[in-house]
Amino acid sequence: MSQKHWIIFSDNNSSIDYALDLIFNTIESPYFLELKKKKGAIFSKAEIIKFIDEENRHGIKIVTRKTSQSLKSMSSGEQKKALLDYILKTKPDFIVLDNPFDNLDRKTRTELKERLKTISDEIYLIQIIGRESDALPFIKTSFRLKGNTLQPLKNIKNHQKTIYEAFDENIPKPLTKIRVHDDILIRLENISVSYLNKPILRSIHWTIKKGEFWELRGDNGSGKTTLLSMITGENPKGYGQELYLFGQKKGSGESVWEIKEKIGYFTPSMTESFKGIHSVENMVISGLNDSVGLYIKATEAQLNLAQRWLKLAGFWDKRHQWFNELSEGNKRLVMCIRAMIKHPPLLILDETTAGLDDTSAALFVSLVNIFAKESDTAIIFVSHRDEPGLLPQYIYELQITDTGSVGKMLK
Ligand SMILES: Nc1ncnc2c1ncn2[C@@H]1O[C@H](COP(=O)(O)OP(=O)(O)OP(=O)(O)O)[C@@H](O)[C@H]1O
């Protein structure tokens, strides 16, 4: 059987919910009539988060029923594989693939592309993507989704010009400078980690100094998240090892609060699971209080500082809107300036460009570059994609071996 398939090119302001309504035929349209009364499934990061929520709240393992490992503790690549296996078992007539290649390394992307090609003989596929280079080559029908409008495209190419906007204003200074006495912020000496007797990290040596701009690379499952959890002090496997966070050895009486105060951390799942209702302005101010969402009244100085950031990042007109109503790309930018506003000594940006369209990703990269240049903050930027225009000073890569991943400096 040869099926029909579709690509929907989305951007920062596209309403994915609207596209899903069309695909699932819950609203009338001339499109996707072939899918009427058919059974559909969604392959997306949001679905993974929904299943993780089920695990957390009700202890129900749906996707990973046959394994002892929880979905939450799996690497992104493992989670996506588990979700696709689960979806295929439910025997759907069609699958909506929402940015399917995000968070995947090159090899896993190629494998998934081949798997989807095989599946496409039997199952209708609808691919929603922000990155033009992700388009599945065997799909011949395409649309562009602008807000709540779906436009058929004559050619498969999106032809959306990527605008590499640059932030050309100066980055606002912090209200108070967070002091760190040592030039060395983070030092890992011979750090190794295993889970369930499976070696994950082997003899990692990594030193991060004030103001350095690092890119952290590594294939799916190489241990990037594990390594970051050592750096944020959250991983108990750091005890008893030569792990130094802001001059203090892990386990030497440092408070979690002291470490948290010095680290800005942003990963997209922070917004995907965030349910609070706050204005964009208050979300940015809350970065000064280490809370997500503002729960105490801001001072005049805090408000002024937040407003300078909002102007700089192009959010002045949106400052009184609800954060939850922003597009995903805009949420990311707001969360990024929220993490930057207090100039933490260390800023960790974990897969922050996943799910963004080409233009939003370029804007994001531009903001990170200028922040790295103008602040004293050290940055660790994690991404599976070679982001065009990113200007890290150093690249640290985790390379998988049978005895755990080893670290290599590539630049
Ligand atoms: N709590 C845990 N229990 C068991 N295994 C775990 C746990 N946490 C992580 N792992 C395993 O450790 C390995 C490394 O996972 P990690 O999430 O650190 O990789 P990653 O490099 O961040 O991957 P990705 O790029 O796919 O997100 C994976 O095989 C994962 O399944």
Domains of the chain plus CATH, in order, are 5-153 (3.40.50.300), 184-409 (3.40.50.300)
Query: CA torsion, points 268, 199, 108, 99, in degrees to nearest 10?
Result: -10
In this structure, are residues 300 and 318 in contact, taking their beta carbons and an 8 Å threshold? no
The DSSP call for residue 333 is: H
Q: What string of pLDDT tens digits covers the 411 residues of the chain? A: 456 899 999 987 788 889 999 999 888 889 999 999 999 999 998 899 889 988 888 777 777 777 778 888 888 888 998 999 999 999 999 999 999 998 898 888 999 999 999 999 999 999 999 988 899 999 989 999 988 999 999 866 655 555 555 666 788 999 988 888 889 999 999 999 999 889 999 999 999 999 999 999 999 999 999 999 999 988 999 999 999 999 989 888 777 788 888 999 888 877 765 677 889 999 999 888 866 656 677 899 999 999 999 998 889 999 999 998 887 778 888 998 999 999 999 999 998 888 788 888 888 898 899 999 999 999 999 988 888 889 999 999 999 999 999 999 998
The token duo for 104 is: 């995947």
- CA-derived radius of gyration, the chain: 22
Q: What is the ipTM of this complex?
A: 0.98
Residue 349 Cα to ligand 1 midpoint, Å, equals: 17
Does 392 contact ligand 1 (Cβ within 6 A)? no
For the CA of 78, the nearest atom of ligand 1: 26
Residue 200 Cα to ligand 1 midpoint, Å, equals: 8
Q: Which of 55, 64, 69, 74 to mutate to test the pocket of ligand 1 (most atoms within 8 A of CB)?
A: 74
| Structure-token match 């979806």, residue found | 87
With b for 16 or more beta-carbon neighbours within 10 A and e for fewer, the 105-133 pattern comes to beebbeebbeebeebbeebbbbbbbbbbe
Residue 327 Cα to ligand 1 midpoint, Å, equals: 29
In this structure, are residues 79 and 71 in contact, taking their beta carbons and an 8 Å threshold? yes
Q: How far, in Å, are 38, 84, 116, 338, 389 from residue 43 at the CA level?
A: 16, 7, 12, 29, 30
Q: Is the pTM of this model over 0.95?
A: no
H-type alpha helices, 287-323: 300-312
Whose C-alpha lies nearest to ligand 1, atom 2?
73
Whose C-alpha lies nearest to ligand 1, atom 5?
195
